[in-house]
Amino acid sequence: MEYENKHILAPMVRVGTLPFRLLAAEYGADITYGEEIIDHKILKCERRVNDYLGTTDFVERGTGDVVFRTCHEERNRLVFQMGSSDAVRALAAAELVSKDVAAIDINMGCPRSFSISGGMGAALLSKPELVHDILTTLRRNLNNAVTCKIRLLNSSQDTVELSRRIEMSGVSALAVHGRRVKDRPRDPAKWSEIADVVSALSIPVIANGDVFDYEHFEQIKIATGATAVMVARGALWNASIFRAEGKLSWEDVKREYLRKCILWDNGVKSTKQTLKEMIMHYSCLELAEGKVVTKSQTIADLANIYGEEGYYQFVTKNR
Ligand code: FNR
C-alpha cells in the first residue's frame, strides 16, 4: 500500500460499507476505509464467500448479521479500521480479515463514551506503551500495512511526541484528524498542528479535517505539508468530491448510492442512516423525503421512494 499523494475516504461508522466505498472509489478515491469495527465484534464472525453477490462476508455467528462485506475489486485499496484496546485481540481480529484487505488501521481518535470506557479510541492517546504494543504486534505478525488514526492532543508538542512514538513502532502511515477530543465537528480543524506532525516525521502523514471541495485537497496539502488527505463529511454529503472535474449533483450521487446498496444487498440500517445524513445536510428530515426515508423498513421501500423499484426487481430476480 502506497500512501504518497493519495485522496482517501475516511472511516465512518454506518456509512463506510461496501456500496459507499465503491462509490467513492468510482469518483476517484484512491484508498477507502471501512467503518470502525470493534475487535470483539469481528472475532464473533466467520468468513464466508458469498457466491450470489461475489463478495466475502464476515457473518456474526448466532445472529447471521453481516458485520463486514468486501469484494475482490477493492482488495488493494481497502483499509480495515478496528477499535481495540488489546494487542493480542487486535492481532486475532486482524488475522481474520488480513487476506481480504490492504491495510489494518487502529482508531485512536474516537471520543464516544462507548469507545473510551472500553479503553479504545481516544483513550489510547494517553497510553503510549499500549499504542506501541498494539502497533508492533500487528506489524510483526501481518503482511498488511499497519496504520493508525489519531486526534490532536492538548498541545502540539504532546501530539508530536506521541506521533514520534507511533512512527517508531514501524507503521506505514499516520492519519491525523486536526481536532482535539473535546472539539466539536463545527470547530475548525487545526491544520497548523497537523503541519507540526508532518515536519517531525518521515513516514507519510494523512491530513484530515475540513475538506469540503476538491480544491481543499490541495489547500490542506500545502498548509500541512502532508502527502495524503482524508475526507469524511465532505464525502458523506457528496461522494463525488473526489472528482477532479467537479462534483455531480447531490440527487444523482444519492441515487447512485442507493443503486449500489441494492446491487450489493447493503443492510437497511446503514443505507437509511447514510441517506438520512445526506438529507439532513441538504434539506431536513422533517420534510417529505426525510419522513418517508425514516419510516422505510427495507431496501425495497427505499427503492420505491426513489423510483428504483424496476432496478430493485431486476437485481433481485437475477441474483
Ligand atoms: C466519523 N469519524 C470516524 N472516525 C474514525 O476513525 N472511525 C469511524 O468509524 C468514524 N465514524 C464517523 C462517522 C461519521 C458519520 C462521521 C461524520 C465521522 C471521524 C471522521 O473519520 C473524521 O476524522 C472527522 O469527521 C473529520 O473529518 P472531516 O469530516 O472534517 O472531513
Rounded Cα–Cα distance for residues 41 and 106 (Å): 15
Q: What is the distance in A from the centroid of ligand 1 to the CA of 10?
A: 6
The dihedral through the CA atoms of 149, 146, 221, 223 has a sign that is positive
Cα–Cα nearest to 19, from 319, 311, 266: 266
What is the residue-averaged pLDDT of the chain?
A: 97
Nearest residue by C-alpha to atom 16 in ligand 1: 12
Q: What does the pLDDT look like over 35-70, one tens digit per residue?
A: 999 999 999 999 999 999 999 999 999 999 999 999
Residue the block writes with cell 426487481 = 313
Confidence of residue 235 (pLDDT cuts 50, 70, 90): very high
Q: What is the distance in A from the centroid of ligand 1 to the CA of 277?
A: 13
pLDDT recorded at residue 239:
98
Q: What is the distance in A from the centroid of ligand 1 to the CA of 314?
A: 34
Confidence of residue 213 (pLDDT cuts 50, 70, 90): very high
What share of the chain in percent tops pLDDT 90?
A: 97
Tell me the angle at which helices 18-27 and 250-263 cross, rounded to the nearest 10 degrees. Answer: 130
Atom of ligand 1 at shortest range from CA of 178: 26
Atom of ligand 1 at shortest range from CA of 231: 31
State yes or no: is 110 an active-site residue. yes
Task: Please give the domain boundaries of the chain with CATH numbers for all domains.
Answer: 7-242 (3.20.20.70), 250-318 (no CATH)
Mean pLDDT of the region 140-165: 98
Mean pLDDT of the region 65-90: 98
Atom of ligand 1 at shortest range from CA of 177: 23
pLDDT recorded at residue 284:
83
Nearest residue by C-alpha to atom 23 in ligand 1: 177
Confidence of residue 315 (pLDDT cuts 50, 70, 90): very high
Residue to probe by mutation, ligand 1, list 79, 177, 216, 271, most atoms within 8 Å of CB: 177
Strands across the sheet with 66-70, in order? 45-50, 55-60, 66-70
Nearest residue by C-alpha to atom 1 in ligand 1: 12
Q: What is the distance in A from the centroid of ligand 1 to the CA of 65?
A: 24
pLDDT recorded at residue 167:
98
pLDDT at 99 over 90: yes
Mean pLDDT of the region 64-78: 98
Rounded Cα–Cα distance for residues 306 and 319 (Å): 21
Q: What is the distance in A from the centroid of ligand 1 to the CA of 175?
A: 12
Ligand 1 residue neighbourhood (C-beta within 6 Å)? 10-13, 15, 35-36, 81, 107, 109-110, 149, 177, 189, 208-211, 231-234, 236
Q: What does the pLDDT look like over 272-313, one tens digit per residue?
A: 999 999 999 988 888 899 999 999 999 999 999 999 999 999
Q: What does the pLDDT look like over 15-41, one tens digit per residue?
A: 999 999 999 999 999 999 999 999 999
DSSP class per residue in 6-68 = -EEEPP-TTT-SHHHHHHHHHHT-SEEEPPPEEHHHHHTEEEEEETTTTEEEEEETTT--EEE
Atom of ligand 1 at shortest range from CA of 233: 29
Distance of CA 268 to the CA centre of its chain: 18
pLDDT at 129 over 90: yes
